[in-house]
Structures are given as C-alpha cells and as structure tokens.
Structure 1
C-alpha cells in the first residue's frame, strides 16, 4: 500500500529564502526516486514562513530510502532543517487501491 507523508516546515524569521531554495533543489531528485509516486511542496501565501510538503511513496521502505538519500541530506538536513523554527510530520497508509 502507498505510504503518505505530510510535513510542515516553518522557517525561522528571515530564513524563508534559505528554506525555499532548499525545497526547490530537493524536489527534482526526490521526484526521480524509484519509490516516489508524488512529491509536491507548497508555501503558505499568507504566512510565507510556512511550507508544506506532500509526499507519496510505494511503501515505508521507499520513504526511508528518501530520508537516506544524498539530496535529502544536503538540502533538507544540512540546509533547511537547521533554520526551521518548527518541523512537523504526519504519516499515513492509504485505504484501498
């Protein structure tokens, strides 16, 4: 069953451009991962410090592979996450096909 991840990243004041840059660089290689079905980030138009990422993977192992990838390490762990004020993640399993 597909594995769904919903993440919310809130940038520290003044760090919005750093997070946006990281997401823009992280998205293309994430979409190319073998187990990735969908990867889309959004920025809140009324609070530009808030970013949401919606991801669908073949299974939990594919999500784990994403988290272990070089591009996740470089752009998420090393660039974006250090300048976040808050990071939330929620995990779901799909129902039906």
Structure 2
C-alpha cells in the first residue's frame, strides 16, 4: 500500500428497528463505491455485541479519491439522504497507514 492511501473507519449506531433498511441501502452503496476509480476496498462489519453497531472500513488511493467518493451522487443520495437519518450516532475517522 502507498503512503498516500487514505483509510476511513466509520462507526454507525443504527436506530432501533432500522438495521435491515440500513443494510439494504448499504448493499447498493458498497457496490457503487467499489466501482469508483480510487477505491481500494469498501467493507462493512457488524459488532458481535450490538448488532445495531456497524463499522465501515474503506480504503482509497489518496485524499482526492476520498473527496470524489464523498461528492458522488450515490454517496449523497444513499448515505447522506437515506442512511444518516436512520442512525443514532455517526463517527468517521480518516487515517493514514504508519507502517
């Protein structure tokens, strides 16, 4: 992996009763995101302790690719407009690999 790569770790707390809706929407978001030119991977994980806690782990070639992703129509339409209202809490951390 390149030192310019940017990794995103997002922790979402899904509202009670909204998990299935979020997972359905995220199937489409993940499919479209992995097709982006600067995307390295786009993985969703679920907490073993709290099924309403979803962790996204994404990799991008550089900061420009992250910006392109965040400005994409599918990100705006699916994640921002449809998924975010179904969340109790959303934390996003941008990271660079140290070694």
Residue 49 in structure 1 maps to residue 49 in structure 2: no
CA distance in 1, matches of 2:24, 2:18: 10
Which residue of structure 1 aligns with residue 97 of structure 2? 94
Does residue 34 (structure 1) correspond to residue 24 (structure 2)? The answer is no
Match of residue 16 from structure 1: 19
Aligned counterpart, 1:59: 62
TM-score, normalised by the number of residues in structure 2: 0.90
Whether the 8 Å CA contact 1:18–1:79 is kept in 2: the answer is no
The count of corresponding residues between Structure 1 and Structure 2 is 96
Unaligned runs of 5+ in 1: none
Structure 2: tracts of 5 or more residues without a match = none
For 1:19 and 1:46, the matched residues in 2 are separated by 18
**Coordinate RMSD, CA, aligned:** 1.1
4+ residue stretches of structure 1 with deviation over 4 A? none
